[in-house]
A and B are shown apart, each in its own frame.
Chain A
Amino acid sequence: MTSRRGFIKSGGLALFGIGLGGVPGFLIDAVAGTKPPGLFKRKKIMVCIFQRGAMDGLMAVTPFTDPYLKAARPTLFMSAASSGKNKPLIDLDGRFGLHPAMATFEQVFRDKRMAIVHGIGSPNNTRSHFDAQDFMESGTPFKKGTESGWLNRAVGLLGHDGATPFQGVSLTSSLPRSFYGDNPAVAISNLQDFNIQMRGNLKGANMAAKSFEDLYDQTSSGFLKETGKESFEAIKMLQKTDVRNYKPANNAVYPNTSLGNSLKQIAQLIKMDVGMEVAFAESGGWDTHFNQGTETGIFARNVNDLSESIMAFWADMGTLQDDVTVMTMTEFGRTVKQNGTGGTDHGRGSCNFILGNGVSGGKVHGLVNPLSIENLEDGRDLAVTTDFRSVFSEVADKHLGIHNDKVLFPDWNGKTIGVMAV
């Protein structure tokens, strides 16, 4: 095991955070008495958002000129032409229309900072959520036994000893499959909880913390000692800012949703310079078998949350935007034809969004053929024309500088499609 120690860099911790309150006494003592943990030189950060449940890519980004789609979705099809009562799709390029609830994406798309890949998915045609998510997160679409997840391997391939406990962070209660593996990754559902806690007894907590710190410092077990040290340094790093009263930059307003809160905390971690390079968040509710709605309804609510959360994050990043690329992913798409209950069933290809200053934006990448039956996969679904590994590996390569696809995606030989500009 490579050493994860040694990230106490000298100098670093200007005591600017102390005045903000919420810093336990022992930390002040500790900071005064020992070498403080240092700031990390900010590196590039990839933020992945997994949309669990399989997003209907054909409704998010609709090939609205397609007569087959219109016929297959009598009550779900939306048009780009404005009519009196309904909000139209946002015409992106004369062929694809963005769902009106995602209007905030339009500007970044026009500014060429957002790319969309349509017809993206897995070569394994399973339509089981579990299997498809498992394959996408392990990055090995035909192999269940792969122990590690692709994001964990990505952390391992960054090419430098992270020496920070925060190199890979998942804003979830437990580590997602994507982060399974031997490289450092931590699951945090709430930054405020990242401390020694004794409710209503701050002094007690401080004393306990001091005792723990001493105990772990002297233990004979190597990795307990190491990790103990990291834990306390991590606490100190997080204490540099007032996590509770965070004020996003540029008046960004995060939706008060699970995804909104996750992205807000990712933004905080980025600004704290804790050395995070891969971040992960989740969004749920995409399994729309029943009444998925059109410009309003459950699907509209979901895409609205997705786009508002991402755009609040983007605004909050402000001058740091160059360092960050956001990528969404979902396990598969949904049937071309709507079902008997106003929804759609499990399908194959979907679409994803990539946001960043380095993307080849303003374009719907990939291949979406006319949705006539002979073009559909198994006679029913939008065909997968772009392997998710092609896009994931390109983003990881161009943004994070990870070149070793054979490790990132062991069975992947295919080409990239140019979703990144540089």
Chain B
Amino acid sequence: MKTSLKVICSFVFLFIAAILFSSFRNKRSAKFDFPYKQAGLSERQAAAHLLSRFTYGAKNGDVDEVVKMGLGKWFEQQLNGSIKDEQLNELLSKFEDINLSNVEVEDKYPRSAKVLRMAIRDGSIHKDSVNKGDRKEYRKQLQNYMQTKGLKPQQELYRQFISQKILRAAYSNNQLHELLTDFWFNHFNVSLTKNQCASFVPAFERDVIRPNVTGKFSNLLLSTAKSPAMLVYLDNFSSSGTSASMGMKAEEMGMQTMQEKSFQRRLKNRKLRQLDSGMLNKVKKLQANKKKIGLNENYAREVMELHTLGVEGGYTQNDVTQAARVLTGWTLAPMGDDGGYGAGMKKIVEKIGADNLQKRGFVREGDFLFVPTRHDNGEKTVLGKKFPAGGGYQEGVELLTMLAHHPSTAKFISRKLATRFVNDNPSPKLVDAMARTFSKTEGDIRQVMITMVSSPEFWSKAALREKTKSPFELAISAVRGLDAEITQPYQLFTWINKMGQKMYYYQAPTGFPDRGQYWINTGSLLNRMNFGLALASQRIPGVKINLKALNASHEPESAEAALLTYSKMIMPERNLEETVKRLKPMLNDPELGSKVEKAAEKAPVQQPVATMMNEDTELMTDVKKKDAVKKNSDKDMLAQVVGVIIGSPEFQRK
């Protein structure tokens, strides 16, 4: 009896658990409830809106596909981000160095100062020849040296890195993950303009940002905090406690700075010693001072202001200082030979021995190193939370986790996501709803995204077409809309830069502002128009389009037909009445044909002369010429129409 009851009980329990579990599962993969009908949108219009916000631009036929698959399923698939990307991977495989680790980059792409140092040391370049005499010859020498050593200029690394971003954005099937990678990179901005951290930037995007874009926010925060790119960009790698607070001998701290090195060099310099006999004492004093100001607050400030709480997030200067103390000792593991990064740590690590590191309180994870001898061991209080003395590495993790889960962070991140995906001024109601999800789920980005898309605000009039494309988004959406074949992605970067978005080179830790007005100024707008014309008329090298093929090889019968066909194709489900109305007069210019013809006549037509060595040559070429002129003018007309569409105000919006 008892046993059977037990059995029944456990059956009941299992049954309930199964129901709970399946309902939970159902919830996870449930059809999302997208309230687009309430907003008066058709399914196709809703699909177009989804595509405009969660891809880099709809490709021809995408709307049909999303409708066929179902909007919810499509969005879920995008959140999962695990669609196969064979075609993209094939293209990426041509860029051999985009998968190098930081250590490999250090060795293969040394900074130019380091190359020079090596070349001088190896006797390949005499130090007296630097900046002197024949500069061409000198550059050649340096190039030869790099070649024999298998070294490459850093510019090449960045070229490959930028190219991969463009190809991924244009061709990846997992578009939302690309957008989120861009969003989070910009949120945790690091910059190629800062030489010291530049070579770590590719790995930062690849290993720190990309794998975490739909996961827990705290994971993103922690991995960025420990990444070489961020450690150097915001200087935390050099931040240490005072010698008093650490109870350590100065030389054990491995923090000899440039200044101190030069003091010591100077000490050896007799001439100067004669100048000032009291120098020794002064140097000692200065060194002592230096130890006291070993703290660097840059990262601690920005992690609160820009990465988590937001500037109005409720922290004080004292919180910044205390947080900086918590994060002392977080630095880079030694990497690379020849005085690469972390060289200061190298000796210490070697002295202690890799096996003893953990015992001595070090933490080494990949390129990250926690050095207990540089950590401020005293007690700290941040935002009212006490961190007892001796917390070591773990208190930093606790601090960042606390920041990641803070209510101000929930709001700040939600607002930023809504600003990127809904409109420039998201409603407080939407932000609150997203922040609630953020807090409930301990910062589950995926869930916050679902809340956002399920909100009426996402589908409202205030959102539709209200975002302005960034230059990068404009370029990629054009390329996708025209189904272009990109063989030289860097050419697009040149244009994107001209239009005002030098990707990866934004200097400030704020990242690019996410506001339409920021992107649109007189100069950049002109360049957007010129970009459209250049792309459509095939004047961007390495970016090929086939307008005819795009229209299933139908040649539009008239200019007007072209205008209609291509605007609909490039901007699906939009109201294009005004655009078409405004562009018609240009096409109906009765002189258009003859004008273009005239222009074409002036331009030399390619003549297949070599094969026409008979008497009819003249006649033949004449006929051919006329044909060619006709063809050219049609092609020109089509290119011009498409170019104007891409440069039009409607196409600047998404």
Identify the A interface with B (CB < 8 A).
Answer: 1, 68, 71-72, 127-131, 134, 138, 143-147, 165, 173-175, 177, 180, 182, 184-188, 194-205, 207-208, 210-212, 214-216, 218-219, 221, 223-225, 227-228, 230-231, 234-235, 288-293, 297-298, 335, 337, 341-343, 345-346, 372-374, 378-380
Contacts and interface: CB of A to CB of B under 8 A. Distances in A.
Interface of B: 113, 116, 120, 127-128, 130-132, 193-196, 234-235, 258-259, 262-263, 266, 271-272, 275-276, 278-279, 282-283, 286, 290, 298, 301-302, 305-306, 311, 468, 497-498, 500, 502, 505, 507-510, 513, 516-518, 520-523, 525-526, 529-530, 533-534, 537, 539, 578-579, 582-583, 585-586, 589, 592, 595-596, 598-599, 603, 636, 640, 643-644, 647-650, 652-653
Contacts of B497: 173-174
A201 B523 contact: no
A134 B195 contact: no
B193 A130 contact: yes
B131 A1 contact: no
Which 8 interchain pairs have the tightest Cβ spacing? A219-B649, A165-B522, A290-B130, A130-B194, A291-B131, A186-B523, A231-B522, A224-B649
B282 A201 contact: no
B648 A201 contact: no
A289 to B, nearest CB: 7
Contacts, number: 208
A343 B33 CA distance: 67
A223 B515 CA distance: 11
A186 B272 contact: no
A196 B523 CA distance: 11
B508 A204 contact: no
B132 A291 contact: yes
Contacts of B279: 373, 379
B604 to A, nearest CB: 11
B507 A134 contact: yes
B530 A221 contact: no
Given A204-B596, A216-B649, A373-B282, A335 B530 contact: no
A208 B498 contact: no
Nearest to A381: B259
Contact of B652 (A224, A230, A293): A224
A186 B499 CA distance: 11
Count chain B CB atoms within 10 A of each CB in A130, A196, A342 and give the residue with the most.
Answer: A130
Given A144-B301, A211-B583, A379-B286, A203 B509 contact: no
Contacts of A342: 127-128, 130
B266 A218 contact: no
B522 A230 contact: yes
A208 B196 contact: no
Contact of A378 (B128, B259, B305): B259
A297 B582 contact: no
Contacts of B647: 208, 212
A218 B578 contact: yes
A202 B603 CA distance: 12
A165 B521 contact: yes
B442 to A, nearest CB: 26
15 contacts: A71-B275, A128-B196, A130-B507, A145-B510, A197-B534, A198-B537, A204-B640, A207-B589, A221-B468, A224-B653, A225-B649, A288-B131, A289-B113, A291-B128, A380-B266
Given A145-B510, A224-B652, A373-B276, A201 B131 contact: no
A372 B275 contact: yes
Contacts of A207: 586, 589, 592, 640
Contact of B533 (A184, A188, A208): A208
Given A197-B530, A215-B579, A228-B649, A223 B599 contact: no
Contacts of A197: 530, 533-534
A215 B648 contact: yes
Count chain B CB atoms within 10 A of each CB in A196, A228, A337, A373 and give the residue with the most.
Answer: A373
A227 B533 contact: no
A195 B507 CA distance: 28
A144 B643 contact: no
B522 A186 contact: yes
Contacts of B116: 290
Count chain B CB atoms within 10 A of each CB in A68, A188, A212 and give the residue with the most.
Answer: A212
Contacts of B258: 127, 345-346
Given A290-B127, A291-B130, A373-B272, A224 B266 contact: no
Contacts of B195: 129-130
B275 A68 contact: yes
Given A231-B522, A291-B128, A208 B275 contact: no
Contact of A231 (B193, B525, B578, B589): B525
B599 A144 contact: no
Contacts of B533: 196-198, 205, 208
A380 B533 CA distance: 56
A341 B129 CA distance: 10
A196 B526 contact: yes
Given A184-B521, A208-B640, A379-B286, A341 B513 contact: no
Contacts of A372: 275-276
Contacts of B271: 71
Contacts of B523: 165, 186-188, 194, 231
A293 B128 CA distance: 11
Contacts of A216: 649
Nearest to B539: A199
B644 A204 contact: no
Contacts of B582: 211, 214-215, 218
Nearest to A67: B275
A215 B576 CA distance: 11
Given A224-B520, A374-B276, A337 B648 contact: no
Contact of A130 (B113, B196, B586, B592): B196
Contact of B529 (A180, A208, A289): A208
Nearest to B581: A218
A201 B526 contact: no
